[in-house]
Amino acid sequence: MNLPEDIVINILTRLPLQSIVRFKLVCIEWKLLMGSAYFVDLCRNSNWSIIFYGNYKSEDSKLEEVKLDLPHDGHDGTHHHQSYNLLFSSVSSQSKKKVKEIRVVSCADGLVLLRVKEEEDEMVYYVGNPVIAQWIQLPLSSRPPRNAHTYPSHYSDTGLVTRMRNGALLGYKVVRIKNKSWNRSYFWEWSFEVFSSDTGKWRVVQVSCPGHGVGMCNPSNPVSLNGKLHWLESSRVIVHDFFSCDDQVLRVLPLPRRTQSTEWQRCKRICTTSQGYFVIIDVGYVEEVKSYNVRVMRLNTEFWNWEKVWEINMASVGLGFKCLPIAINFFDSNIIYLWDLDHNCFLACNVRTHKKLCGTRKDVTADKEDTFCHESRYSLLQFVPTLQAIHT
């Protein structure tokens, strides 16, 4: 049966990405269609996920993808939970040694950085695409530590950055930060260890700090966007572009000011990405209405200033203090995601149309989500599935 191409695309984009990967083998026409930039963009927009991650130890812990989309034209608003445990089993099979633990370090443009603990406590890194189950083991640092069985302890996991052009992956870098750079003291210079896919090697990069130097309390889980890493601190954001020609200076920006009112006395900040911007979500509790005031600010990198996207009290859309804001949609900044403490499920709410959608109820055996949602300051890793293969 010969169907029009637009109907074929409409059918295929509704399928799980793992099925799409298999269907590329059906015929040359489907392979070319699924490899087109138009088809890839459709898949990305319909398969955005919030990803929770943690240590992977046999069956005690798992990496979960949580998909939740508000209904829109051509989409029925379905949602699901999907475990990536089976996909990560390919990492274990690829390793020549017994894998004791796998930890997700960072996500960027459909790629995932894993830290794998093998037998004898040897640490190695893998970069891969979990959708197509492709993983590449990175070489060890050229500067091995005194203890040959462990990865260099004087550098700590930081993040993963990518270089994209017209939706195509051109390269990536894995970034580690020297431990002394992020203690409570202030330093004029930071030291990074960077692996580049272009060279296949690690190198040490020294980066200057403006003003009187910069210290960092928490180097883990920076937000990756457009080749830059963004670290959220108590009163500022630290940004560095690892693909810039002028890559020797850190940029330090003060966070947008909060108004002096009681609603910001019990508050938290979330940093994430949406519509190609680095975004700060300010969440303040308002006692009078027993709900949260939410303000979304985005960083304009052309002028390096903050722009207000929207501000709303969640009571105006019928959501109280048991619905904790956790993220906004990667493609639409008007859609906010919340965690419902009473029903143990995700909620999606469009603040412009006031449409709401509930996710599938989860059997929560621990306070993982509660603790995560109540943290006063955190960075959220977002995972956008892709069909792109990694260059070797």
The model's pLDDT over 138-182, given as tens digits with 9 standing for 90+, comes to: 998 755 444 444 444 577 878 999 999 877 889 999 999 887 655
Distance CA 151, CA 116 (A): 10
Q: What is the pTM of this model?
A: 0.82
Tokens of 188: 């004029």
State the sign of the Cα–Cα–Cα–Cα dihedral 363, 368, 370, 372: negative
Q: What is the pLDDT of residue 93?
A: 67
Measure CA 236 to chain center. Answer: 20
Strands 382-383 and 49-52: antiparallel
Write out 277-344 in H/E/C secondary structure. EEEEEEEEEECCCCEEEEEEEEEECCCCEEEEEEEEEHHHHCCCCCEEEEEECCCCCCEEEEEECCCC
**Regions of the chain short of the pLDDT cut 50:** 52-65, 68, 70-84, 86-87, 144-152, 366
Could you read off the pLDDT of 112-126 as tens digits, one per residue? 888 888 877 778 899
In degrees and rounded to multiples of 5, residue 309 shows phi and psi of -90, -55
Residue 299 has a pLDDT of 97
DSSP bridge pairs for 285:
292
pLDDT at 354: 93
20-62 pLDDT tens trace = 777 877 888 888 887 777 776 666 655 566 654 433 333 333 3
